[in-house]
Amino acid sequence: MFFVMIISATVMIFRKIRVKNRIKFFYSLFLTFFLTTLFIISLLILFKVISLTPRDVIPLMGMVVGNSLNTVHLLLDKLGELVKRDRDQILGMLALGATEWIAIKLTLISSIRSAIIPHLNRSKSVGLIFIPGAMVGLILAGYPPIEAAKIQIIIMWMILTSSLLSSLIISILTYKEFLRF
- The pLDDT tens digits for 71-125 are 999 999 999 999 999 999 999 999 999 999 999 999 999 999 999 999 999 888 8
Decide if 67 contacts 161 (C-beta within 8 A).
Answer: no
User: Is 132 a residue whose pLDDT tops 80?
Assistant: no
Q: pTM for this one?
A: 0.91
Q: Which long-range contacts (CB under 8 A, 24 or more apart) does 61-67 make?
A: 61/1, 61/2, 61/5, 61/37, 62/5, 63/155, 63/158, 63/159, 64/36, 64/37, 64/40, 64/158, 64/159, 64/162, 65/5, 65/6, 65/9, 65/33, 65/37, 66/9, 67/119, 67/159, 67/162, 67/163
Number of compact structural domains in the chain: 1
pLDDT of residue 147: 86
pLDDT of residue 38: 97
**Size of the chain in residues:** 181
DSSP-derived letter for residue 177 is G
| Domain ranges, residue 108 | 2-179
Question: What digits encode the pLDDT tens for the residues 148-163?
Answer: 888 888 999 999 999 9
